[in-house]
Amino acid sequence: MTAVELSSNDLRSREKGTGSLVLGFGLLVAVTFTLLSLFVLLARIFTQAIPAFRERGSDFITDTIGSEPGISGIWPGLFGSFGIGVGVLLLAVPLGLAAAIYLEEYAKPTRFNRFVIVNIRNLAGVPAVIYGVLGLIIFVGWLKPITNGGSVIAAALTLSVLVLPVIIITGMEAIRSVPTGIREAGYGVGATRWEVTRDHVLPYAMPGILTGTVLALSRALGEAAPLIMIGAITGLLPETSLTGKFTAIPMLIYNWSGRPDSAGGAIGWSNSAAAAGLVLLVLVIAFNLTGVLLRQKFEKKRVGT
């Protein structure tokens, strides 16, 4: 028996050790518990939301906010959440990607640049309510002539700042994972640094960049604390606009889930809150599905090359 065979047999015996079995069992229990909790949560949302959709149908989506669950709709919240999502895509993603490219491909490893990167990583863990205070002071206060105070524009700017560190960090990690040989091959044929980055590094790193974008967008659509701070309303909102008073689906869920259900009604506020949560889940899945399709497209292109 050769030394290679001995070493491989030794590795297999180590893999079957007691410690590995215990670790594998612990991981299996953790995954099972996580999936079971998620399944129970989704089942609860579906069962609570079905009466609202059965009673209201499409009117639940197209109607405005009302004083009773039987007449309330989520259109103002859906408009606000969709506007915030589009704003985050147009603002945070280009800025975050540009910062990731600069820090990973152009910036020299100086003490100042390392200090900047450490602080970006720290900003990713700052509580969302702190960004709400930032948005209240800057985007609602100082930039009121541009945002018109508490509006969808101010909310999009605030949540863009909130998810910007996540996009930068995931973008840097995706760019860093690109093999060095791809860069050297580009430089070897006389390409400039920007040509190598644009034509070789970014297409290779795009799946990871899109994954970070999807995670950041999902967080932005689900946040309620910053919206409360910048003045999103929870009451009646007869009309929707980008520069006027606004609300979002997380605000409606927050408001409706705290109201008591009236006796004798076909549906209650808890049903409306669950239905709004289901619509938000569908909206997030729609954005995520777009990102997944784009990621698969870039992965196929990368494998083809």
What is the mean pLDDT of each successive set of 10 residues along the chain, which is 305 residues long? 51 63 91 94 91 89 86 90 92 95 92 93 92 94 91 94 95 93 89 91 89 89 91 78 89 88 76 92 86 78 62
User: Coil, strand, or helix at residue 181?
Assistant: helix
Q: Where are the domains of the chain?
A: 59-304
- Write the single-letter amino acid at 211: T
pLDDT of residue 289: 86
pLDDT digits (tens, 9 = 90+) for 245-254: 899 999 999 8
- pLDDT, position 265: 65
pLDDT per residue as tens digits for the range 130-147: 999 999 999 999 999 999
Q: What is the pLDDT of residue 8?
A: 52
Please report the DSSP string for 51-94 in residue order.
HHHHHHTTHHHHS---SSTTT---HHHHHHHHHHHHHHHHHHHH
Count CA atoms closer than 13 A to 66's CA, side-chain side: 14
3-state helix, strand and coil shares in percent for the chain, rounded to the nearest 5: 75, 0, 25
- pLDDT at position 64 is 87
User: How many angstroms separate the CA atoms of 141 and 130, rounded?
Assistant: 15
CATH fold of the domain at 59-304? MetI-like fold (1.10.3720)
